[in-house]
Amino acid sequence: MKDCKPKATPKEKGLHIDVGDKERCTNHPYRELIGCLIYAIVVTTRPDLCAATGYMSLLQSCFDERHYNNAKHILRYIRGTIDLRMIYRKEGTTETLVCFCDADWGGDKNDRKSTSGYVFKLFGNTVSWASKKHSNSKFVIHRS
């Protein structure tokens, strides 16, 4: 993958991959690749890889050629963005603390569960982020 063609995004927009068929499972080092990507997220501080790697890590029980090719898509994205850095500096007119959050509604087409996430910025610099797939898609509205 050292000389691969770079990609502009970590995964294709609207990507949906079903869990693999037992008959089509391959022996590619898919789990090892996902582990390396998680290592890159944690050690080299690449929050831009979180969503794509998290999605691909859900499909480790039975993977086939489609899964492996989409995981390699993340590597192609890294190739094109290898020089990206997180730089922390105070911007003059930036608010002290800002939080962004969002969620989808049943976005995983395999189990219809929702995912939510947040980003905290301090003086314009990302200091904390997370994304979590909900364990239950039921939503209850309490009225008072």
State pLDDT tens for residues 36-82.
Answer: 998 888 887 787 888 888 888 877 877 888 888 889 999 999 999 98
Q: Are 23 and 71 part of one and the same domain?
A: yes
Q: Are 20 and 51 part of one and the same domain?
A: yes
Distance CA 124, CA 66 (A): 38
Tokens at 28, concatenated: 């590619």
H helices of 59-141, where?
Answer: 65-80
Q: Are 75 and 104 part of one and the same domain?
A: no
The answer to whether the beta carbons of residues 90 and 108 sit under 8 Å apart is: no
The answer to whether residue 44 sits within a structural domain is: yes
pTM: 0.69
**Longest distance between any two alpha carbons in the chain, whole Å:** 60
Domain ranges, residue 111: 97-133
Distance CA 75, CA 119 (A): 24
Classify burial at 59, counting beta carbons within 10 Å of its beta carbon; exposed 0-12, middle 13-18, buried 19 or more.
buried
Q: How confident is the model at residue 5 (pLDDT cuts 50, 70, 90)?
A: very high
Tell me the pLDDT tens digit for each residue of 78-126. 999 988 877 777 767 777 889 999 988 877 777 778 888 888 988 888 8
The answer to whether the beta carbons of residues 120 and 97 sit under 8 Å apart is: yes
Distance CA 76, CA 79 (A): 5
The answer to whether residue 77 sits within a structural domain is: yes
The answer to whether residue 138 sits within a structural domain is: no
14-39 average pLDDT score: 82
